[in-house]
Amino acid sequence: MSSEVKKIEEKLEKPTEKTEKENVLDNKTKEENEKEVDEVKEPPKKSLVKRIKEEWQLIAKILELVLCALCLGFFYQPAAKSANFAKHHLEQVGLIFLTFIGYLLINAVFIVSKLIKDRIPFRTSATFSLLAAILNFIAGIVLIVDRRNKFQGIYYEPQMYLLGMLTGSTILCFVNSAVYGLDGVYTFLLKKDY
């Protein structure tokens, strides 16, 4: 019996030695695999210039969105403070609000579509941008005419901050027109989907 017990003990010891060796090998391969995975996980870093070149359309849309919001904010106060301005110049106010609010919404949709990785064809994006450039340019001209005509028939001194806000909206409107124009032209020439 003692010989049988010894044989059983020897059999039990041999597999444990193998498993220890296998464990050491497994640990080495696990460490090597982790190193390989770590190496794979780190993508090469891109420079800021390359990232800007890749995402220039998104940057342009965000800039256009901010400029539209500023134009709308600067125009709203003078239009709201003038008692009869909206009544007498409804077509001008309609065009200006349509341009600013409409393209706020359109740019927001473009930005969300980019974030959810949806593609918008380059012709559609370029058409929207070029149409926005034209509408912003027309709105800027209307704002210049409004600024000149707004306070002509008034017998009291106008509030000067309203003229400043109207001027700011006019300048930003022309800047936004240029940004939209460049965006539309470059999108069409590069034929890059948004």
pLDDT in tens, 15-43: 444 455 555 445 555 555 555 555 555 56
Query: How wide is the angle at C-alpha 182 spanned by C-alphas 178 and 188, nearest 5°?
Result: 145
pTM of the model: 0.68
Q: Are 179 and 63 in contact (CB under 8 A)?
A: yes
Q: What is the pLDDT of residue 34?
A: 57
* DSSP conformation letters of 50-69: HHHHHSHHHHHHHHHHHHHH
pLDDT in tens, 46-86: 777 787 778 888 889 999 999 999 998 888 877 777 655 65
Question: Using CA atoms, how far apart are residues 35 and 23, in angstroms rounded to an integer?
Answer: 18
Question: CB-based burial of residue 87 (10 Å sphere; 0-12 exposed, 13-18 middle, 19+ buried)?
Answer: exposed
Percent of the chain with pLDDT over 90: 29
Q: What is the pLDDT of residue 97?
A: 86
